[in-house]
């Protein structure tokens, strides 16, 4: 499903051009008050221009119609920016719709393969129905696995070709409608009615036209409307003042309505007004390109304001696969003996940790070719927290230190102080101590180490520069957690974390007025995800987690949270930068259009013509043309976003004021002067 489109892809541009004209409807323009004022001005000047063609105009027909044409272009360019941004979402939604189709479903009367089967259309399924899907079948609806283990192709949803395992229980029990079972079989309970499935929600969210404005965007819109009203009232009062001045002086002529419309359009913040909606739609689109479904624009915006990140240790900060790295013995025990016993205890252990112990012993001491004809293997359980093998009268065990301590005591042995020191040393280094005993004899510790991901420390340093606090969450003991936290460079950590601990931590931060983001994939993460301001659920996780989150990561990559925060901040930076540029633009345009507009009524204002423009008519037309063209030049920036920089708010504000504030002030002087020179060269000045 993951797909990217070039900025000016013909497949997007052509529909956007058509949509730009459709959006000229007054009802469509009313959604954007700033551009609606420009639209009204376009209609008014068009009527005045047509009137002037019959010799009854307040100015030449060419001048009035020229102003009208560029005002229409201003509205069209703003419509085009929004339509182009929405086009990406519509293209992504169309791709998703292509993957959604009705399939034949096998509904079971009970959760058993022997139960009565009813064959029906997938659209007839309802929440709570039980279905059977076998190898080669398309999953008919969103469901939770009740029985079975199967390999599932989710490429229609995630774009990734590698199949994933789905099984009953645990955090990998959710299956999505439209995916395909590659092997084995599953019995699952439907979790969504038709039209409410995950794929339907995805389509609704990526449709830019259905996007709701975020609180920040609403606040900025209110500000822009307020500025527009202020300038509208100010401009409306200029005509009677002008008429009064001409009457009192007995000379000159009052300012024309066409000039006042041009003045109003150049005074109000048309640049950001025309691009504001496009920026918001593009932010949602960038999330989608990162393979993240945001269930609300509010979540995308909140991601940009997040100042606390809660990150799971395993798989996010570390690689997640603990490997045996050393054999540490108590006094009187040879390292080779510990390796020999640890390998024996791990021969039937199919976990990555168990296999790594076998490999390490084989590599270090060439241990292989065991005679195990009378062996009885003891597998790990959550209750015993140890595993091993019984060889005749020998009881070989490896496992958690306290579990092995109890086992040794039951065998009549003693727990040496040196062993306690070894366990603490390994924990302090961030490793996991795996105690090993042969009957009542304590031999030592196998050190398991979870490797911190390369470059993660630098990423956390960047987040710290942005004023974001990183908190690692882990079920490890405090010593292990502290060591990993120090190595990874996180600001804080929560050890031995339970679901209620995560929830309390989030509430504590929120009570301080901070915005919190976290990731999760399990049912036990659902309460914390529901509480967090930005909650990213893994697509591979449970249905409960996905329902609780306000974003779903289709790649199920826990580190994606960092990218999500950066994308949210980029959207806010883009909006702030273009707002700064727009306001600075307006200040510069005053020097072009105000002296020209009142040159006849108030000749003294000619001193403000610092650009040395050819004539009042040329100055007004140049300012209106620049006002339209600047939107065109800023469309790529609005859609792609300003370059992301990991900076604190203060330095970032200063930089934006320098680049976009000063730039916005200088560009109109250059642009309007160049347009004026071109008009002069064409004999239109």
For residue range 37-51, list pLDDT tens digits in order: 999 999 999 999 898
8 Å CB contact between 285 and 642? no
Distance of alpha carbon 136 from alpha carbon 181, whole angstroms: 6
Tokens of 677: 């020179």
- Determine what percent of the chain is predicted with pLDDT higher than 70: 85
Task: For residue 135, say whether it is annotated as part of any ligand binding site.
Answer: no
For residue range 316-342, list pLDDT tens digits in order: 777 666 788 899 999 999 999 999 999
pLDDT band at 1 (very low <50, low <70, confident <90, very high): very low
The arithmetic mean of pLDDT across residues 132-149, rounded, is: 87
- The three-class DSSP label of residue 6 is coil
101 vs 243, residue with greater confidence: 243
Residue 99 has pLDDT above 60, yes or no: no
Catalytic residue positions?
Answer: 312
- pTM value is 0.64
Task: For residue 377, say whether it is annotated as part of any ligand binding site.
Answer: no
Instruction: Share the mean pLDDT of the chain.
Output: 82
496 vs 580, residue with greater confidence: 580
For residue range 185-223, list pLDDT tens digits in order: 899 999 888 776 666 666 665 554 445 566 677 788 888
pLDDT band at 130 (very low <50, low <70, confident <90, very high): very high
What domains can be seen in the chain, in order of their start residue? 10-92+206-290+565-682 (no CATH), 126-193 (2.70.150.10), 292-317+453-554 (3.40.50.1000), 319-451 (3.40.1110.10)
- The three-class DSSP label of residue 599 is coil
Q: What is the residue-wise DSSP string for 211-229?
A: PPPPHHHHHHHHHHHHHHH
Task: For residue 353, say whether it is annotated as part of any ligand binding site.
Answer: yes
Residue 597 has pLDDT above 70, yes or no: no
8 Å CB contact between 207 and 89? yes
**244 contacts: CB under 8 Å, gap ≥ 6:** none
Task: For residue 349, say whether it is annotated as part of any ligand binding site.
Answer: yes
The pLDDT, as a whole number, for residue 72 is 95
Distance of alpha carbon 530 from alpha carbon 631, whole angstroms: 40
Task: For residue 387, say whether it is annotated as part of any ligand binding site.
Answer: yes
Task: For residue 137, say whether it is annotated as part of any ligand binding site.
Answer: no
Task: For residue 374, say whether it is annotated as part of any ligand binding site.
Answer: no
8 Å CB contact between 570 and 649? no
Task: For residue 324, say whether it is annotated as part of any ligand binding site.
Answer: no
Residue 67 has pLDDT above 70, yes or no: yes
Residue 387 has pLDDT above 80, yes or no: yes
| HEC-encoded secondary structure of 623-672 | HHHHHHHHHHHHHHHHHHCCCCCCCCHHHHHHHHHHHHHHHHHHHHHHHH
Integer distance in angstroms from the first to the last C-alpha of the chain?
54
| HEC-encoded secondary structure of 452-514 | ECCCHHHHHHHHHHCCCEEEEECCCCHHHHHHHHHHHCCCEEECCCCHHHHHHHHHHHHHCCC
For residue range 603-633, list pLDDT tens digits in order: 666 666 667 777 777 888 888 899 899 988 9
Q: Give the DSSP H or E segment for 79.
A: helix 61-99
Residue 369 has pLDDT above 80, yes or no: no
8 Å CB contact between 297 and 206? no
Q: What is the residue-wise DSSP string for 94-151?
A: HHHHHH----EEEEESSSSTTS-EEEEEGGG--TT-EEEEETTPBP-S-EEEEE-EEE
Task: For residue 380, say whether it is annotated as part of any ligand binding site.
Answer: yes
8 Å CB contact between 435 and 400? yes
Task: For residue 173, say whether it is annotated as part of any ligand binding site.
Answer: no
């Amino acid at each position: 499903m993951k797909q990217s489109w070039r900025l000016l892809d013909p497949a997007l541009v052509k529909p956007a051009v058509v949509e730009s004209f459709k959006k000229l409807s007054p009802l469509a323009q009313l959604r954007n008050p700033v551009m609606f004022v420009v639209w009204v001005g376009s209609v008014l000047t068009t009527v005045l221009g047509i009137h002037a063609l019959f010799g009854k105009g307040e100015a030449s027909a060419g001048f009035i119609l020229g102003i009208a044409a560029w005002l229409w272009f201003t509205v069209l360019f703003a419509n085009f920016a929004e339509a182009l941004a929405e086009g990406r979402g519509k293209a992504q939604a169309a791709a998703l719709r292509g993957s959604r189709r009705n399939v034949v479903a096998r509904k079971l009367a009970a959760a058993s393969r022997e139960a009565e089967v009813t064959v029906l259309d997938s659209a007839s399924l309802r929440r709570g129905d039980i279905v059977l899907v076998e190898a080669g079948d398309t999953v008919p609806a969103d469901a939770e696995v009740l029985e079975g283990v199967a390999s599932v192709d989710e490429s229609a949803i995630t774009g990734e070709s590698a199949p994933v395992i789905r099984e009953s229980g645990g955090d990998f029990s959710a299956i999505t409608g439209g995916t395909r079972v590659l092997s084995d079989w599953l019995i699952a309970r439907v979790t969504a009615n038709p039209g409410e499935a995950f794929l339907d929600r995805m389509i609704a969210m990526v449709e830019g036209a259905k996007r709701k404005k975020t609180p920040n965007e609403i606040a900025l819109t209110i500000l822009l409307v307020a500025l527009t009203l202020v300038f509208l009232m100010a401009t409306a009062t200029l005509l009677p003042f002008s008429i009064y001045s001409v009457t009192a002086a007995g000379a000159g002529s009052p300012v024309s309505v066409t000039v006042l419309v041009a003045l109003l359009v150049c005074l109000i913040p048309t640049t950001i007004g025309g691009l504001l909606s496009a920026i918001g739609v593009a932010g949602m689109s960038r999330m989608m390109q990162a393979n993240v479904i945001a269930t609300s624009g509010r979540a995308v915006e909140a991601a940009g304001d997040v100042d606390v990140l809660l990150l799971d240790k395993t798989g996010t900060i570390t690689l997640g696969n603990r490997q045996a790295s050393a054999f540490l013995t108590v006094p009187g025990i040879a390292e080779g003996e510990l390796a020999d016993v640890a390998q024996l205890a791990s021969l039937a252990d199919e976990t990555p940790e168990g296999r790594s112990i076998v490999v390490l012993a084989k590599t270090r001491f060439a241990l292989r070719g065991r005679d195990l004809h009378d062996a009885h293997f003891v597998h790990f359980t959550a209750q015993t927290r140890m595993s091993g093998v019984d060889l005749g009268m020998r009881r070989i065990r490896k496992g958690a230190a306290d579990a092995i301590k109890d086992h040794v005591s039951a065998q009549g042995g003693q727990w040496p102080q040196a062993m306690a020191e070894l366990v603490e040393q390994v924990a302090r280094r961030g490793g996991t101590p795996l105690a090993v005993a042969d009957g009542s004899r304590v031999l030592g510790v196998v050190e398991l180490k979870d490797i911190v991901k390369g470059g993660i420390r630098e990423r956390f340093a960047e987040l710290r520069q942005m004023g974001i606090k990183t908190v690692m969450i882990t079920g490890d003991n405090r010593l292990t957690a502290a060591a990993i936290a120090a190595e990874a460079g996180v600001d804080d950590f929560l050890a031995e974390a339970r679901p209620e601990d995560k929830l309390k931590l989030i509430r504590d931060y929120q009570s301080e007025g901070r915005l919190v983001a976290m990731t999760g994939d399990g049912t036990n993460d659902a309460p914390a995800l529901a509480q967090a301001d930005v909650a990213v659920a893994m697509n591979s996780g449970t249905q409960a987690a996905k329902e609780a989150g306000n974003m779903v990561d289709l790649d199920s990559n826990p580190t994606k949270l960092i990218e999500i925060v950066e994308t949210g901040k980029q959207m806010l930076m883009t909006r702030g930068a273009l707002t700064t540029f727009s306001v600075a633009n307006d200040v510069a345009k005053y020097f072009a259009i105000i002296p020209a507009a009142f040159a006849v009524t108030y000749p003294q204002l000619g001193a403000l013509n610092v650009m040395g423009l050819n004539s009042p008519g040329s100055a007004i037309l140049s300012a209106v043309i620049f006002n339209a063209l600047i939107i065109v030049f800023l469309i790529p920036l609005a859609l792609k976003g300003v370059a992301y920089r990991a900076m604190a708010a203060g330095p970032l504000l200063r930089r934006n004021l320098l680049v976009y504030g000063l730039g916005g002030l200088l560009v109109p002087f250059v642009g309007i002067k160049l347009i004026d020179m071109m008009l002069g060269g064409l004999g239109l000045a």
